[in-house]
Amino acid sequence: MSNVVPGVSGYQGPAGGWGAVKAVAASVFSQKAVARDIIAMFRMNQVKGFDCPGCAWPDPGHRSPMELCENGVKAVSWETTSKKASPEFFRQHTVAELWHYSDFELENIGRLTHPMKYDAATDTWQAVEWQVAFADIGEQLRNMASPEQVEFYTSGRTSNEAAFLYQLFAREYGSSNFPDCSNMCHGPTSAGLTPSIGLGKGTVELDDFEHCDLVICIGHNPGTNHPRMLTTLREVAQRGARIISINPLAERGLERFSFPQSPTDMLQGHATTLSNEYYQVKMGGDASLLKGVMKALIEMDEARILLGQEPCLDRAFLAEHTHGYQELYDDLHRCSWAELELDSGLSRNQMEDLADRYDKSNATIICYGLGITQHKNGTENVQQLVNLLLLKGNMGKKGAGICPLRGHSNVQGDRSVGINEAASEEFLVRLEGRFNISVSRKHGRSSVESIRAIERGDAKALICMGGNLAVAMPNPQRTFEAMKKLELQVHVATKLNRSHLLMAKHNYLLPALGRTERDMQASGIQSVTVEDSMSMVHASCGALKPASRWLKSEPAIVAEMARATLPNSPVNWEDMMGDYALIRDAIADVIPAFSGYNVRIAEPGGFRMDTPASRREWKTATGKANFVVSRERAVERQNQPADSLVLATLRSHDQYNTTIYGMNDRYRGITGRRDVAFLSQAEADAHGLVEGDVINIQALDDSGTPSADRVMYGLTVVIYSMAAGSIGAYLPEANVLLSLDAVDTQSLTPAYKSVPVLIRKA
């Protein structure tokens, strides 16, 4: 059946393997970046190289000769391309014309080469002198009625040095509005882990994977998003430890892997089985599933005690280290199996099996991603993972703990150095003291709040340190219109994207150096630092010739904007811009966790930020690790029509967030197209659909009422191994179905992975 639908063929091979090698060659070739790339690849994630701008998975201490992966190569060739978006190009194409380019075509024009200013009369971007741009931006910012009308967005590739200067500039200016890409992915991680274990980050390090008995992978897709993790999972599997995956979709990267850098794997066609068990939970059903597993574990524990056998729970740990067990116990006791089964889409038997396998492990790591966080109950979801770990003392011991897979390569570092709309008083006092400035104590805005403020007209200017904010946010129907109300918009970017085409009154596009490029300042070539998913901070030093001689580094752009905006600033902007070691000294003075920064990053591999929960020190209000009862649901199913489904937005294998590298999604068997919707066979049957049928998808609100404008037309049905009750479509195209008001109640992260929808044959 599947071979009659163009571009839909299924995929039989393992993740990695020859497919990955071919894709590497194709992406280097298509970006015309061959010679430059080869040098770049060899330097990526090596002790003295640059940090891969792809994902935030850490580098192993004992490196393989080339620590790189297919999607890292795509990210690097995309940046090191010889294609250029030059002033000449912009002269020939109006913004109205560029609007009709696809997201792929926009970025594929190439690297931005000059600072540009938008000219409304000709509807074109035109080259401008850097100093003219800075002077004008500075004057406009000074003339704002209030600094609180300005939003400072950060996308997580920005280095610690640039991010620290950026927040210093914003705070000295008087704003504390820091919308950030982490508000769109791991907001629930910070919001959930902090009250639970007193640390808003993961507790494990790479070494723990060498000592665990079990890894549970829930709601993340490493084959595409963290491909270097497959090497670690392969080692886990090969030494006989178990891997359990919990995901509505059968993801090839969680099933089988052939290591492209292993001659045996490649020449003998060998692949390692990764997951021993795979549970296809319903989209949005994780909290119920996790409750079911905990309920089963506790019931098993009670039975064992009655029989005089070894209990399941770690009672000594519970007594000494945790708070709130009784409340959790009571809640689980009240939950009915029928309800848990309905919500999770899994049977009581399956949840009991999972509990049994979890019980058999003496050291368990739980890895998770956006399948857990991007829901209305995202924060509580994260806390249920912690609850499960705590029951058996799997926190703060070797081979055990929690492992959020962060997104952008420095999203965690940006938060660590002060990109925070609600920074602590201690941080603000130290910042003021260090620079002799005074800063606002106002609780600022995060991403969703920023868009709403722009829409209301309360925010008038938006500065973006990278990213593609308007396209990354839900509901372009509202978000795009809001952006056009701005007075001033400044984008610091490497490539053109759709956010740059939503014109405010005044618009600047400032081209930045990328991670791979040499950054020469007054004191010589500069390194920057980044923090990975496991809290390791290390240096990254670009080596390639910049794409254009007019590019500036992000720290330099921030420092120059600050000088132009704040002529009487007591901050030594020029010195810091000329020597990033001075920025690191300042960070160390303001944030004690970075003390000795410059010395510590000189060590091979860098240093690890302090993670007290890893040694069972709980920086919480109770001084213990807290059990948190789950009370919310991703979707109130009883409000929804019986034939509704829950939609999650998905990444293809050929994209990096809003950056589309190509039209294929190899591991899901899709070639040359993105206009598809993934559905299980059972759900297709129930709706009278077959593969290849074309459908429209209509979003529903919380009360089950169909939305008039959140509709997506003309998607081709692809039958896929996935949970019933669920449907998947690609971001950013499917963002039209999302509501700007459907967010995690605690972190305000949009519910990108659980939109109630109806489907109809077109």
Ligand X SMILES: Nc1nc2c(c(=O)[nH]1)N[C@H]1C(S)=C(S)[C@@H](COP(=O)(O)OP(=O)(O)OC[C@H]3O[C@@H](n4cnc5c(=O)[nH]c(N)nc54)[C@H](O)[C@@H]3O)O[C@H]1N2
- Residues binding ligand X (CB under 6 A): 54-55, 71, 107, 155, 157, 181, 184-185, 218-221, 224-225, 246-249, 251, 281, 283-284, 286, 369-371, 374, 405, 407-408, 465-469, 472, 492-495, 497, 512, 514-515, 554, 648-651, 655-659, 731-732, 734-735, 738, 752-753
CB atoms within 10 A of CB 435: 19
Encoded tokens for 142? 């000074």
Q: Which residue has the tokens 């995309």?
A: 78
Q: How far is the CB of 184 from Mo ion (least distance, A)?
A: 6
Nearer to ligand X, 279 or 317 (CB): 279
AA identity, residue 275: S
Window contacting Mo ion (CB under 5 A); options: 77-85, 178-186, 396-404, 470-478: 178-186
* Separation of alpha carbons 405 and 373, rounded Å: 11
Helix (H, G, I), strand (E, B) or coil at 150: strand
Q: How far is the CB of 345 from ligand X (least distance, A)?
A: 10
AA identity, residue 462: L
Nearer to Mo ion, 352 or 744 (CB): 744
Nearer to ligand X, 51 or 314 (CB): 51
Q: How far is the CB of 220 from ligand X (least distance, A)?
A: 4
Collect all residues with Cβ–Cβ distance below 8 Å to 224 and sequence separation of at least 6.
71, 251, 253, 651, 652, 653, 667
* Separation of alpha carbons 653 and 670, rounded Å: 10
What are residue 151's DSSP bridge partners? Answer: 462
Nearer to ligand X, 252 or 392 (CB): 252
Collect all residues with Cβ–Cβ distance below 8 Å to 741 and sequence separation of at least 6.
none
Window contacting Mo ion (CB under 5 A); options: 116-124, 159-167, 293-301, 402-410: 402-410
498 makes contact, choosing from ligand X, Mo ion, none, with CB < 5 to 8 Å by partner type, with none
Nearer to ligand X, 509 or 590 (CB): 509
What are residue 218's DSSP bridge partners? Answer: 246, 368
* Separation of alpha carbons 742 and 748, rounded Å: 8
497 makes contact, choosing from ligand X, Mo ion, none, with CB < 5 to 8 Å by partner type, with ligand X
Nearer to ligand X, 419 or 431 (CB): 419
565 makes contact, choosing from ligand X, Mo ion, none, with CB < 5 to 8 Å by partner type, with none
Q: Which residue has the tokens 């914003």?
A: 170
Q: Cis check for the bond before 641: say yes or no (omega within 30 of 0).
A: no
* Separation of alpha carbons 61 and 46, rounded Å: 10
Nearer to Mo ion, 140 or 447 (CB): 447
Collect all residues with Cβ–Cβ distance below 8 Å to 131 and sequence separation of at least 6.
none
Q: Does residue 185 touch Mo ion according to CB under 5 A?
A: yes
Q: How far is the CB of 657 from ligand X (least distance, A)?
A: 3
Q: How far is the CB of 85 from ligand X (least distance, A)?
A: 10
Window contacting Mo ion (CB under 5 A); options: 399-407, 515-523, 698-706, 716-724: 399-407
* Separation of alpha carbons 689 and 535, rounded Å: 47
Nearer to ligand X, 290 or 390 (CB): 290
Window contacting Mo ion (CB under 5 A); options: 335-343, 405-413, 446-454, 465-473: 405-413
495 makes contact, choosing from Mo ion, ligand X, none, with CB < 5 to 8 Å by partner type, with ligand X
Window contacting Mo ion (CB under 5 A); options: 147-155, 177-185, 245-253, 521-529: 177-185
Q: Does residue 345 touch Mo ion according to CB under 5 A?
A: no
Residue 735 is classified by DSSP as G
Encoded tokens for 629? 């009862």
Nearest Cα residue to 136 out of 489, 447, 444: 489
* Separation of alpha carbons 618 and 401, rounded Å: 14
Rule CB under 5 A: choose which of 407, 466, 542, 725 binds Mo ion.
407
* Separation of alpha carbons 543 and 526, rounded Å: 10
Window contacting Mo ion (CB under 5 A); options: 162-170, 181-189, 458-466, 710-718: 181-189
Q: How far is the CB of 495 from ligand X (least distance, A)?
A: 4
DSSP letters, 459-470, are --EEEEESS-HH
Q: How far is the CB of 429 from ligand X (least distance, A)?
A: 30
220 makes contact, choosing from Mo ion, ligand X, none, with CB < 5 to 8 Å by partner type, with ligand X
The phi, psi pair for 144, rounded to 5°, reads -60, 145
What residues line the site for Mo ion (CB under 5 A)?
Answer: 185, 407
